[in-house]
Amino acid sequence: MTLAAATNEHLANISNVLVYSAMAVYTLAFFAYIAEWLFGSRSKVARTAAALTAEPKAATAPAVTVKTAGGTAVLERPKVTVRSAAGSRDVPDGPGAHGGDAQGDLYGRIAISLTVLAFLVEFAGVLTRALSVQRAPWGNMYEFNITFSTVAVGVYLGLLALKKNVRWLGLFLITTVLLDLGLAVTVLYTASDQLVPALHSYWLYIHVSTAIFCGATFYVGAVATIMYLFKDSYESKLATGGKPGAFARSVLERMPSSASLDKFSYRINAAVFPLWTFTIIAGAIWAGDAWGRYWGWDPKETWSFITWVAYACYLHARATAGWKGRKAAYLALLAFACWLFNYYGVNLFVTGKHSYAGV
């Protein structure tokens, strides 16, 4: 074995150790997020959800008042409150997972600190994997998975740094990141190796990096959409006099309002959709360089286009008054399901020109 080969193997081993170390720190962060939610559940600071989700009475025209001044009758203009959107509710955001409890807030801050540490360790693992193969670490599903989870956590931390109300996302994100990394190191693991000639292109850095970022951002939007559906059902039940269970009240009353979750998921998906469009265009240009044709309806190309159409339908639905709310949310989840199948389903079960990535 040459010195260069030995060095690359050593770097690959270091990368594996760093990924496992990141999983350990993510596990600690997971328990800290759990503690935040548990201590927050006992807090008395959280709002009384039923009172805040009470639907305002329908606006009705008040009786006209007549004033007499010097024999002249003056009709006062009736004051009618007009709601901004049909079916919307004036519900404020919840206090967060800590529920206003000081100890819960402390555990939440510890969880975020552990998440930052795990992100840095995992990023180092991805970097050493790249150094071990002397290329971008996106040549197979294992490398894509560890990079994807790193970027997803990076998006979450970036939103926190921008002072966005997304701390509630931590528990759900870290849970799925642990599942993703567990799948990567057990089922999808592939030893470091060189790429096939078709992948030796600068388009690898452009096309695959944007695909990973888009997927990670779409994932954040999908989680917000799922939580919107739960919160919307919760608010609807309260508004109609229903009584949700104790667990639902404890969790959902601390979440942002359904309107905030809906707006957040829409903005996330709308912001990244142009980049997904660029990803497909970049892939077509790369295909022209590598295979001599820009588009051939390969399974990966086909499902990338289907995903694009699904998100385009969602964005169009959100811009159409009759398809806002739950109907549009279902479309968003369908679009993300298309993205998931495009990655896992096509790579594992369908043979095509993109099958060289392997598992």
Question: pLDDT digit string (tens) for 186-226?
Answer: 988 888 766 666 677 788 888 889 999 999 999 999 999 99
CA distance 151 to 130: 15
Q: Does residue 85 surpass a pLDDT of 80?
A: no
Average pLDDT rounded to a whole number, residues 26-42: 91
Give CA 26 to chain center in angstroms.
18
| Position 155 pLDDT exceeds 90 | yes
Q: Which residue has the higher pLDDT, 22 or 66?
A: 22
In this predicted structure, the answer to whether residue 162 has a pLDDT above a threshold of 70 is yes
- pLDDT band with cut points at 50, 70 and 90 for residue 101: confident
Q: What is the pLDDT of residue 353?
A: 62
Q: Is the pTM of this model over 0.75?
A: yes
Of the pLDDT bands very low, low, confident and very high (cuts 50, 70, 90), residue 83 is very low
For 61, other C-beta atoms within 10 Å of its C-beta total: 8
Residue 241 has a pLDDT of 83
Give the span between the Cα atoms of 313 and 319, in whole angstroms.
10
- Helix, strand, coil percentages in the chain from 3-state DSSP, rounded to 5: 70, 0, 30
* pLDDT of 62 over the 50 cut: no
The DSSP H or E segment spanning 225 is: helix 209-239
**Position with higher pLDDT, 256 vs 86:** 256
Segment 328-335 mean pLDDT: 93
pLDDT exceeds 80 at position 112: yes
266-320: per-residue pLDDT in tens? Answer: 999 999 999 999 999 998 898 888 777 888 888 888 999 999 999 999 998 888 7
Write down the pLDDT at residue 20.
Answer: 95
What mean pLDDT, rounded, does the chain reach? 82
Q: Could you give the 3-state DSSP secondary structure of residue 282?
A: helix
Q: What is the DSSP string of 120-133?
A: HHHHHHHHHHHHHH
The phi, psi pair for 73, rounded to 5°, reads: -85, 130
Q: What percent of the chain has pLDDT over 70?
A: 81
On the question of pLDDT at 41 being above 90, the answer is no
Residue 152's contacts (CB-CB under 8 Å, 6 or more residues apart) are: 173, 177, 216, 219, 220
Q: Is the pLDDT of residue 347 over 60?
A: yes
pLDDT, position 291: 77
pLDDT of residue 246: 81
What local confidence, expressed as pLDDT, does residue 194 receive? 67
| 174 touches 184 (CB < 8 A) | no
